[in-house]
A and B are shown apart, each in its own frame.
Chain A
């Protein structure tokens, strides 16, 4: 504790080793330059190879009359999941037509259409490799962790340098970002095919080839299709993010540019296109995936008839659209574009009720965000008050009382937790001297996962310290901690509610689905409009995006508690609250912790996107590096974010595993 009071003289404790920042970044840049100089021909070739199908697909989608494309997608939607999806698909595509975003939408679709098969194909190959060889699997898992935690902005820079300016960069970035779920699902699917199935194939005398392609792959197909679905969604999300490099006139670019110009009506309308496209792609691919799972047999005759009928219908439409140009290209005078009206309405609402949002923002800022960021001590200093020593003493006495209470309720660890939170709020997270944080994290990691986890955590934190990113990293930590804490409390409560209330559960499930399918980008639009730029807006965007896994895992954890345990608790006369806090939550805690883990990951990935609304943390550093095309800075910052994520991940996973073993529960997979 005394360290805090002396830190004015010991600035090296919070403002660290900048002397290492230079060499590492310069080194990385040097390597990059050499790479570009020597191998640019190879990357040029790849770029050419990939741009060919992209331009072809783009050309075709632009050439096809909108009516044909719309009906084709509607038919696909019907085949995937029946009437409701067909109607939804038709309505969504019509929205794109009517609002005049057809061209941009089709460009984005072309990007997805090339990137998703690429990611799925590469992912399948790597998954098979990982399944075949243990060494490859271990290497792959580390790579996958990096691919999923290093923010895309930071590898956009080297990709730009290697492949040159253009849509191919977005394509490759999407493939990198989107193939991990495919790899994971393929590895898991192939490995978990029941052994009796494989043995029955072998006993039928299948060769290795037959056994793999006729038995193992079909049996793993449901899991593989889950991977395909996740890959498509990740691709779309990334295609939108990658539009920051511009130049392809896609819908992501439209959103970004209108958002920068503060044209909320326009950005809301184009953001809607992204959300709709995400939902269509998700429902269609999920629909086909569940077909594979249920293996309901449709007679092949009627299927081929349906195909022929669809083809005829599309041909007829094509012919008709040659006669009626309106069916080919939506006339611009028919365009429904109420952006101006939306803007008017929004500014009216804000002028009328803006004070509500402002108040909320102020309350959260002063009660949660600022104390966490700079601490009560500084906060009062800044506003002109000083906290008298008596008051400071009173605060610590109160903290001591809370610690005592906590130690009764949750033993020693509870007291330590209270002390840490109290200290963080008093001094501010960003002012924590690094040795203290090293110690806290090191001990936590050692407790949860032993020496290996502790070593990994300390090494990772040393990297951040030595690259001179400690300051922004602490800002990230603070923002992330606030968002995760908020998600944890609110999401946990919602999840617990959903677990006990079927109607609420049925209500929240589609909400969760939607929140999870919408690309991260879109979250910023309403947030920035209601709360302007700043930490609070970032907080809201992060919470909105990262709360979903918390709700899901909590509900799942509580719902999957053995019925007999619940019945025993009721039989012993537990009240509802007693049951919830003394039975449900402790038993569900491993699942809840995995939800927390996912929430942290989601929060970190959103952090970088949230940099667009003006935070000043690592996310912003990545973004600045991107605009400066500075490979070294982009990569070190990206790795720092990845490290924060991976340290949190390792500690929580280790803890959850330990706890699950203690409780004798089956392992819950976090996909």
Chain B
């Protein structure tokens, strides 16, 4: 139904694939490599179960997904679901047992150690849950560290680092040591450091999970602000579904090393792939998840009030337009042309159907 708004949506799916993860397996412990070739069948499920009981740990099982340029791709799962393993496989911090990782068409698993270091130096950045700041270096030196590793001279790397520190709002704390900063400030340093080399790919491994709820929300806003400026290709890990729907263009839900469902927040909430996902989405307020694109209908020509909406604007933000127009309102794009309408009956229908399903 999104074709009405194509010019605004800039649908991620249309952009080119930046990172492609194909049939990635990661198993700890000795095992038979025949299992990697197996399709997703009940036989494979029982083979994996047998592996588990024999003491092997299959942390990632046949994980495949594509991340498009400029997209925020969130991998969501509870602890032990294998999400951290997957993000580490993407950068080869953990060596996958099997599969392909194509970064702009180049298979990272084939890269020599030298090439890999080159790629990490210039094109990847990563933020860690526990920050991973070097305790013996100041904020400035920490942010400049990736450049120092590359051999950039002191003056250039420090001026670049200062820019990054200013970008994340820590100007004035350059000379502090990590231990002297609060958790939120430390993660800002972590973010600044990961951005110092202007990476194309940005990995964030539960970056806000160690923070207080209020700070977390603040950091999420900060993150979205940065992304509108920088337009990186992002893989973001979280165990918090609300965080996922706030930030994600698309979400992958993982359980026991497998991806269960990939889709936009609305797709996952409205069409959960199985009971496990449904259980997750049960308490999610639908108005947060649904976007204008999910409820828009072709304009039929009688609704008067108009409202300019982006396609990915959440329904909640569009709600105020119903004030005084209880039946519905017309939607215009940024140039003022009417592109469709949102009616109260459509919104209510979706809400009712969704409640019906989860009952």
- Interface, chain A (partner B; CB < 8 A): 194, 196-197, 199-207, 210, 214-215, 218-219, 221, 292, 294-297
Tell whether, in the assembled complex, residue B120 and residue A297 are in contact, meaning their CB atoms are under 8 Å apart: no
- Given A219-B135, A297-B138, A297-B175, decide whether A205 and B130 contact each other with a Cβ distance below 8 A: no
Tell whether, in the assembled complex, residue A203 and residue B126 are in contact, meaning their CB atoms are under 8 Å apart: yes
Contacts of B125 in A (CB 8 A): 203
Tell whether, in the assembled complex, residue A200 and residue B132 are in contact, meaning their CB atoms are under 8 Å apart: yes
CA distance A429 to B147 in the complex (A): 69
For this complex, 29 residue pairs linking A to B, each with C-beta atoms less than 8 Å apart, are A194-B132, A196-B130, A196-B131, A196-B132, A197-B133, A197-B134, A199-B93, A199-B132, A202-B93, A202-B120, A203-B93, A203-B120, A203-B124, A203-B125, A203-B126, A204-B121, A204-B145, A205-B118, A205-B120, A205-B121, A205-B122, A210-B149, A218-B135, A219-B134, A219-B136, A294-B179, A295-B136, A295-B177, A295-B179
Chain B's closest residue to A199 (CB) is B93
Contacts of B137 in A (CB 8 A): 218
Contacts of B238 in A (CB 8 A): none
**Apart from A203-B120, A205-B120, 4 more pairs, CB < 8 Å:** A197-B133, A200-B133, A297-B138, A297-B177
Contacts of A201 in B (CB 8 A): 134, 145, 149
Q: Is B129 an interface residue (CB 8 A)?
A: yes
- The smallest C-beta distance from B343 to any residue of chain A, in angstroms, reads 49
Tell whether, in the assembled complex, residue B175 and residue A207 are in contact, meaning their CB atoms are under 8 Å apart: no
Q: In terms of DSSP, what is the predominant structure of the interface of chain A?
A: helix
Tell whether, in the assembled complex, residue A205 and residue B117 are in contact, meaning their CB atoms are under 8 Å apart: yes
Q: Is B58 an interface residue (CB 8 A)?
A: no
- The smallest C-beta distance from A617 to any residue of chain B, in angstroms, reads 48
Q: Is B128 an interface residue (CB 8 A)?
A: yes
CA distance A219 to B131 in the complex (A): 14
Tell whether, in the assembled complex, residue B126 and residue A194 are in contact, meaning their CB atoms are under 8 Å apart: no
Contacts of B120 in A (CB 8 A): 202-205
CA distance A197 to B124 in the complex (A): 16
CA distance A40 to B283 in the complex (A): 81
- The smallest C-beta distance from B277 to any residue of chain A, in angstroms, reads 29
Tell whether, in the assembled complex, residue B132 and residue A197 are in contact, meaning their CB atoms are under 8 Å apart: yes
CA distance A536 to B134 in the complex (A): 54
Which residues between 215 and 241 of chain B lie within 8 Å of chain A, taking CB atoms? Answer: none
Contacts of A214 in B (CB 8 A): 145, 148-149
Chain B's closest residue to A210 (CB) is B149
Q: Is B159 an interface residue (CB 8 A)?
A: no
Tell whether, in the assembled complex, residue A295 and residue B135 are in contact, meaning their CB atoms are under 8 Å apart: yes
Tell whether, in the assembled complex, residue B177 and residue A200 are in contact, meaning their CB atoms are under 8 Å apart: no
- Interface, chain B (partner A; CB < 8 A): 88, 91, 93, 117-122, 124-126, 128-138, 145-146, 148-150, 175, 177, 179, 190, 193-194, 197, 203
Tell whether, in the assembled complex, residue A194 and residue B130 are in contact, meaning their CB atoms are under 8 Å apart: yes
CA distance A197 to B142 in the complex (A): 11
CA distance A197 to B135 in the complex (A): 9
CA distance A47 to B85 in the complex (A): 53
CA distance A206 to B149 in the complex (A): 6
Chain B's closest residue to A194 (CB) is B130
- The smallest C-beta distance from A206 to any residue of chain B, in angstroms, reads 5
Chain B's closest residue to A204 (CB) is B146
Chain B's closest residue to A222 (CB) is B135
Tell whether, in the assembled complex, residue B149 and residue A205 are in contact, meaning their CB atoms are under 8 Å apart: yes
Chain A's closest residue to B124 (CB) is A203
Contacts of B131 in A (CB 8 A): 196
Tell whether, in the assembled complex, residue B129 and residue A196 are in contact, meaning their CB atoms are under 8 Å apart: yes
Contacts of A199 in B (CB 8 A): 88, 93, 126, 128, 132
- The smallest C-beta distance from A219 to any residue of chain B, in angstroms, reads 6
Chain B's closest residue to A218 (CB) is B136
- The smallest C-beta distance from A212 to any residue of chain B, in angstroms, reads 12
CA distance A115 to B133 in the complex (A): 36
CA distance A194 to B118 in the complex (A): 24
CA distance A175 to B197 in the complex (A): 46
CA distance A504 to B121 in the complex (A): 55
Chain A's closest residue to B117 (CB) is A205
Contacts of A210 in B (CB 8 A): 149
CA distance A635 to B126 in the complex (A): 56
Q: Name A196's contact: one of B128, B136, B138 (CB within 8 Å).
A: B128
Tell whether, in the assembled complex, residue B135 and residue A203 are in contact, meaning their CB atoms are under 8 Å apart: no
Contacts of B146 in A (CB 8 A): 204-205
Contacts of B133 in A (CB 8 A): 197, 200
Chain A's closest residue to B150 (CB) is A205
Tell whether, in the assembled complex, residue B175 and residue A200 are in contact, meaning their CB atoms are under 8 Å apart: no
- The smallest C-beta distance from A559 to any residue of chain B, in angstroms, reads 24
Most central of B88, B119, B132 by chain A CB within 10 Å: B132
CA distance A219 to B132 in the complex (A): 11
Nearest 5 CB-CB pairs, A to B?
Answer: A205-B121, A200-B132, A196-B132, A204-B146, A205-B120
Chain A's closest residue to B125 (CB) is A203
Chain A's closest residue to B176 (CB) is A297
Chain B's closest residue to A217 (CB) is B136
- The smallest C-beta distance from A665 to any residue of chain B, in angstroms, reads 23
CA distance A577 to B294 in the complex (A): 69
Contacts of A215 in B (CB 8 A): 134
- The smallest C-beta distance from B50 to any residue of chain A, in angstroms, reads 29
Most central of A200, A210, A215 by chain B CB within 10 Å: A200
CA distance A200 to B132 in the complex (A): 6
CA distance A215 to B197 in the complex (A): 18
- The smallest C-beta distance from B121 to any residue of chain A, in angstroms, reads 3
Contacts of B126 in A (CB 8 A): 199-200, 203
Most central of B122, B135, B145, B194 by chain A CB within 10 Å: B135
